[in-house]
Amino acid sequence: MRVLVVEDDDDLRFAVAAALRGGGLAVDEAGDLPAADEALYITGYDCVVFDRMLPSGDSAEYVHRMRADGSTVPVLFLTARDSVADRVEGFATGGDDYLVKPFAVPELVARVRNLCRRTTVVRPSVVRCGGLEVDSARRTVHRDGVLLTLTVKEFAVLEILAARPGEAVRRTELTERCWDELTEPNSNVVEVLVSQLRRKLGDPPLIHTVRGIGYRLEPPA
């Protein structure tokens, strides 16, 4: 899942981005609304985190224009403006969630991940396939009851495949949703990561190559 963080305070933006990356998300950063506008034009995001007040304007007004133009990307306002009127205004202009500074990092990550799930068809947090159990809420993976240890990127790729069992997922989609602009992968990083996943998941294999397209997760025949 890929997130855009829009915050003019460099230290806070870096900290928020680092926390979200630590939560398994791919994160791009923008310091003002023009940069956010360019990023949103180029990339499809699963969620956008906006600081409420930016030197280039009130992000609530920007989100209001986004909604008027038909954008449905989930938005979380991260702000020091904590009055009831401010929160109501944030929701009224098109925000989906509102978190007041200072905030707890685990809560921020949980809220953003929850908003990211809204961009896809609602599915249960636990997916089971051929003895494999992927729990997106607890971020755990079991195969035949055995807990597996995956890296953040391995879990991110497996989570996407598990959400659409039996469906071919394109390599380009895995790249766009699991790697951000600071960690743009080389030509074979997806293949290498899938190979690592296959070794960790064990036999019989669950991840199958769809030639010329990408990969599919399905139970053994």
3-state secondary structure of 219: coil
Write down all domains in the chain, each with its CATH number in brackets. Answer: 2-117 (3.40.50.2300), 126-217 (1.10.10.10)
For the full predicted model, state whether its pTM sits above 0.85.
no
Query: Tell me, what's the pLDDT at 120?
Result: 53
pLDDT in tens, the chain (221 residues): 889 999 999 999 999 999 998 888 889 999 999 999 999 988 889 899 999 888 888 899 999 998 888 888 999 998 888 788 888 888 888 899 999 888 898 899 999 988 987 755 445 678 888 889 998 878 899 999 999 999 988 998 999 899 888 889 988 888 888 877 665 555 688 888 999 999 999 999 999 999 888 999 998 76
- What letter does residue 179 receive in the DSSP assignment? -
Token readout for 47 is: 């969620």
Query: Tell me, what's the pLDDT at 23?
Result: 84
Q: In Å, what is the CA distance from 77 to each residue of 49, 118, 123, 174, 204?
A: 6, 16, 25, 27, 45
Query: Tell me, what's the pLDDT at 97?
Result: 93
The answer to whether the beta carbons of residues 209 and 215 sit under 8 Å apart is yes
C-alpha triplet 201, 202, 203: angle, nearest 5°: 130
Q: Name the helix (H) or strand (E) containing 76.
A: strand 75-79
The Cα–Cα gap between 31 and 13 comes to: 8
The Cα–Cα gap between 202 and 220 comes to: 12
Q: Name the helix (H) or strand (E) containing 182.
A: none
